[in-house]
Amino acid sequence: MNWDRLVYFRVVARLGHVSRAAAELGITQPALSRAIARLERDIGVELFARHGRTIALTRYGTAFLRHAERALDAIDAGVREVGDLAGADAALVSLGFLRTLGAALVPQLVRTFSAEHPDVRFAFTQNNGAALEALLVAGGVALTLTVGPPAHPALRWERVTTQRFVLIVPPDHRLAKRASVKLGELRDETFLSFKPGHAVREFTDDLCRGVGFVPAIAFEGDESNSIRGFVNAGFGIALVPQTGTLDDVPSIRIADAQAQREVGIAWLDDRPLSDAERAFRDFAVLTNP
């Protein structure tokens, strides 16, 4: 059913005159007459009885008008509701980020940005890199802070900052009092890390292979608190992103320059960003070293 024809039908029914209805609608009289005729053909009955220059609803037209008005009122309400939602969403930033960025980087960015943009609201999603990339492509979030560049060709990515990795060890470990360590010193150690496929596990494996050894992984976990807990209990050492929340275990700087990864902000290239989303993206890119 053509929406415009329903609008034309309602106006003609209200005015009872095709010429006046055409003038109010801003279309020609012949065009209006053709639209009403097509509507009648679609329904299969005459909606109007013609009486010279005026027309009046038939009993079919009277019955149909009640339903047409309800339909048009519902559409009008839907348009208003969508407009209200769009207005609210214009000040909303839907942001996904890696769990390791939730301790320091994301709160700092949002706090500083919010001081300049107090009306902007945030909806947060935390997950691993692969899940965030899929969510971004599907439209579940507008922006993600993640390690990049992303693999999906539809995504754009700009560097925000560098995330360094540190070594965490049990409190009584031989390296616990050291200020820094080189990766090559860890070849005979027992490692704890995430399960295969996790970005931190892949990064750990790559770092160790880069200095000539394969890490001996004794424990594979799903989340960072478990890794730290098992390290603290003396089960081994771990390479983890520096998050600012490692007070429960000794944290040692890694001297090797490659023990860091680029963190950036990603978005779907063909999805228009709102003013708030665009402002936060640009702020994140320009604010950090």
pLDDT given for residue 107 in this prediction: 92
Say yes or no: 31 and 15 in one domain. yes
In the chain, how many domains are there?
3
Phi, psi of 264 (to 5 degrees): -140, -175
Say yes or no: 143 and 215 in one domain. no
Say yes or no: 123 and 189 in one domain. no
In three-state secondary structure terms, 191 is strand
Say which CATH number the domain at 71 has: 1.10.10.10
pLDDT given for residue 255 in this prediction: 95
Say yes or no: 266 and 254 in one domain. no
> Where does residue 193 rank: exposed (0-12), middle (13-18), buried (19+ CB within 10 A)?
buried
Say yes or no: 231 and 174 in one domain. yes
Say which CATH number the domain at 122 has: 3.40.190.10
Say yes or no: 173 and 42 in one domain. no
Say yes or no: 254 and 213 in one domain. yes
CB 270 within 8 A of CB 154: yes
Say yes or no: 184 and 155 in one domain. no
Residue ranges of the chain whose pLDDT lies below 70: 1, 80-90, 244-247, 288-289
In DSSP notation, 58-82 reads -HHHHHHHHHHHHHHHHHHHHHHHH
Asked which of 62, 88, 114 is the last residue of a domain, the reply is: 88
Asked which of 57, 88, 119 is the last residue of a domain, the reply is: 88
Name the pairing type of β-strands 121-127 and 92-98.
Answer: parallel
Say yes or no: 239 and 270 in one domain. no
pLDDT given for residue 62 in this prediction: 93
Cα separation of 112 and 34, whole Å?
Answer: 60
Comparing C-alpha atoms, which of 117, 126, 158, 136 is closest to residue 276? Answer: 117
pLDDT given for residue 160 in this prediction: 94
Say yes or no: 134 and 267 in one domain. yes
pLDDT given for residue 78 in this prediction: 76
Say yes or no: 141 and 249 in one domain. no
Domain membership of residue 12 as a residue range: 3-88
pLDDT given for residue 245 in this prediction: 54
Say yes or no: 275 and 148 in one domain. yes
Q: Output the six-digit token pair for 225.
A: 């608190």
pLDDT given for residue 89 in this prediction: 46
pLDDT given for residue 99 in this prediction: 84
pLDDT given for residue 37 in this prediction: 92
